[in-house]
Structure 1
Amino acid sequence: MACETHTAAVLEEIGQGLKLVSQPIPEPVYGSAVIRVLATPISPTTNRVITGKFPVGLNTPVTPSSSAVARVYAVGPDATLLKPGQLVFYDFCIRSRDDYDTSILQGYMGDNKTFEAAWTHGTFAQYACVPLERLWVLNEDLLVNKLKYTFAELAFLGTISIAVAGLIDIDTRPGDTVIVAPATGCFGGSAAHAAIAMGARVIACGRNEEILSKMTDTFKSSGRFKTVKMTGDVEIDTAAIKAAAGSEKGTDKYIDFSPPQSVGSKHILSCISAVRPFGNVSFMGAVFAEVGIPYFLLVKNSIRIQGRYMFERTHGEQAIKLVESGHMKLGAGDNSGMHIESFGLQDLGKALDQAEQHGKWAHMVVLEP
């Protein structure tokens, strides 16, 4: 196997840009598999990580990575379920086997040189070497042959599984009313998508009226979707959310995907203030600064705040079940609305730019190496 080669995008140093390199296909060792990458989404922030504008501790040299839909090429000698040829979903959040508190996002975020050095063959390549425990076998006959999903559409599992994790953490159930904020980005939008699929009522909050209107058109057939245009005035926004919920007590849940640039925004205060007593809140964003919360309101109303980073194996399984059962729709139709742009490795630079410029709800840039 070592004599066979493939093409990989390699980042030699932060800020130097990616180079397409021909290199040997990696060989699996204990606890790993080599996968043939079919579709891997590009995060809106990947370009900034590569150029050093978003410093997240990535060590080099490395082939960047993301989640992926792939086909198993070879497995390590300890694999018990995975076999060559199987269609799989891969997620790039890897946790240390001897210290579960230590994690990296393969080829994207780390700050642990020793751990990262074991997983340098990411998905921005024809073949990647990944840990067995971050692979989920997909029912290809059902998902591809019967439901007619493309590999690029199935690649949305990586984003949707993150949202499913946060919603499960706060015990989201059918019939619950869930605030999603900000809802117009790729992750917040996926939370609205996932909550609808899980049977909840959604109140999508944001400032971009155009995207909120498109979301309404996409999810209106569910009968469980409303929007609130945020003004920045806490009293006005809290009242608007409660009005959309149809309850003076407020909503059952609130899931938050605030981006770094939301520092200083009042939306977190407004949304928490619109949660009913004994409600639950999930924080899943990336705000690198302190934010204000209504301390005594949380105490008085017994509101629980849960932080969540990425997702566990059970969350990935649940996301797959939602798609397989038909409760969660993928692609461009109703209750999904996803527009996908696909690029080959030779157009990786253009793909990175597109992902950075158009990283909003319903727009996904996918690399198909």
Structure 2
Amino acid sequence: MKAAVLNNFGSPLVIEDVADPKLGTGEVIVDVVAAPVLSYADEVFSGERQYLLPTPVVPGCGAIGRVRDVGPDATRLKIGDWVFCDPTVRSRDNAVMPDITLQGWSARGDGGKKLQEYFRDGAFAERIRVPTENAIPIGDLDPAEASRWCAVNTLLIAYGGLLAMDFKAGETLLVSGATGNFGSATVATALAMGARSVIAPGRNEAILHDLKRRFGDRLVPVQLSGNADRDSEAMRRAAPAPIDAALDFLPPSVPASVARAAIMTVRPYGRAVLMGGVGMLGGEDLALPYPWIMRNNITILGQWMYRPKAVIGMVGLIRGGLLDLDHYAVTEFALEDVNKAVAHAAANAGPFKLTVLRLQA
């Protein structure tokens, strides 16, 4: 089969003939129809992000495709079913603390690296082998819509943070990093879940205006000044009710002070979930005040990716008409143009822009 291979960090991807994946018990082979190209893929492939990813490797994080073959333990999946290939692969021998690898993308810790040795290659290929539980049915699909369904890959991460904080309909949410790819997905998902309002701070006036245009009065934009104290007060004032929770998706390039200013807007007994990259490349620590956390009964959670059942809930939001994938503008590339796709994704990293490798019609 054809696949895009990263032979070394800092080198372009190369289209090669590689061996077809072999089916094992507890596994599914999927014909990849469309695979998202993440906006920061160039930073991963260059080595800038220092992800745990052995080379040579077929990269690619998640896919939409059709089941080609199933193992003997699959009781519901059928050949031809449309599925989302969930890249979040969890070890099966510790239900309390499963190790995790992002198939074709990265790993967490020694256990994740061991898991990665087997579930190594990702979705930039004609076929992919995934654990049975990671081939999640999404229902009948017009093949023309497969690329747009790749947005699930981003929306799920936002949904994972909202589930982690037990976000409820009628609550007010602040999204730190709302003008970014994951932040804007959080805005759309929270509103689909019934948020009373979503506070969207940011410095990009054009993107804030676009969010307001898309989502109306329940979206409250806040133009940031760069002064932490002033910005915290502006965010609190803009909210129509006390801010119940904050979800942080700021990237590694943003100072911790920006994240801290947003998190500290939550009301007493409020919650904050951290899912961004602040501090990953060095710099100031987040340094939230101990007395503020303790005396106000604040809950601080870290969340990487999402719970296994999140995909089912996300599909329900989309199929129920609550979350509209038409927000996403899709640009497709053939597998042979994978390096152009990576460059395009980096240059078009804004909200609701989706770059996709299209592997089948």
Range of TM-score over shorter length: over 0.9
- Which residue number corresponds to residue 298 of structure 1? 293
Matched, 1:109 2:110: no
- Which residue number corresponds to residue 282 of structure 1? 273
- Which residue number corresponds to residue 259 of structure 1? 251
Give the drift of 1:292.
Answer: 2.5
Post-superposition Cα deviations, 1:286-316, rounded to whole Å, max 9, x if no partner, equal 2214213132222121110111000122111
Matched, 1:36 2:36: no
| TM-score, length basis structure 1 | 0.90
Written as runs of structure 1 = structure 2, the 5 A alignment for 1:223-238 is 223-238=217-232
Give the drift of 1:23.
Answer: 2.6
Matched, 1:150 2:140: no
Give the drift of 1:326.
Answer: 0.7
Cα distance in 2, alignment partners of residues 279 and 121 from structure 1: 40
Q: Is the 8 A contact 2:35 2:358 kept in 1?
A: yes
Q: Is the 8 A contact 2:92 2:98 kept in 1?
A: no
Query: After TM superposition, what 4+ stretches of structure 1 lie above 4 angstroms from structure 2?
Result: none
Q: 2:237 is matched with which residue: 243, 246, 251?
A: 243
Letter in 2 for 1:106: Q
Aligned residues: 349
Q: Is the 8 A contact 1:258 1:285 kept in 2?
A: yes
Post-superposition Cα deviations, 1:254-290, rounded to whole Å, max 9, x if no partner, equal 011011101x242222222211111111111122142
Post-superposition Cα deviations, 1:196-228, rounded to whole Å, max 9, x if no partner, equal 1101010111111111111111111xx311111
- Which residue number corresponds to residue 45 of structure 1? 40
Post-superposition Cα deviations, 1:125-162, rounded to whole Å, max 9, x if no partner, equal 1111111111211111xxx35xx971111111111111
- Which residue number corresponds to residue 79 of structure 1? 74
- Which residue number corresponds to residue 52 of structure 2? 57
Letter in 1 for 2:354: M
Give the drift of 1:91.
Answer: 1.4
Give the drift of 1:348.
Answer: 0.5
Q: 2:159 is matched with which residue: 126, 149, 164?
A: 164
- Which residue number corresponds to residue 342 of structure 1? 332
- Which residue number corresponds to residue 131 of structure 1? 131
Cα distance in 1, alignment partners of residues 294 and 253 from structure 2: 28
Matched residue SS, 2:355 = strand
- Which residue number corresponds to residue 330 of structure 1? 325
Matched residue SS, 1:266 = helix
- Which residue number corresponds to residue 364 of structure 1? 354
Long gaps (5+) in structure 2: none
Cα distance in 2, alignment partners of residues 267 and 233 from structure 1: 9
Give the drift of 1:117.
Answer: 2.3
Long gaps (5+) in structure 1: 1-5, 332-336
Q: Is the 8 A contact 1:232 1:265 kept in 2?
A: no
Letter in 1 for 2:250: S
Cα distance in 2, alignment partners of residues 76 and 101 from structure 1: 22
Give the drift of 1:19.
Answer: 1.2
Give the drift of 1:319.
Answer: 0.8
- Which residue number corresponds to residue 218 of structure 1? 214
Matched, 1:94 2:89: yes
RMSD (Å), alpha carbons: 1.7
Matched, 1:7 2:13: no
- Which residue number corresponds to residue 180 of structure 1? 175
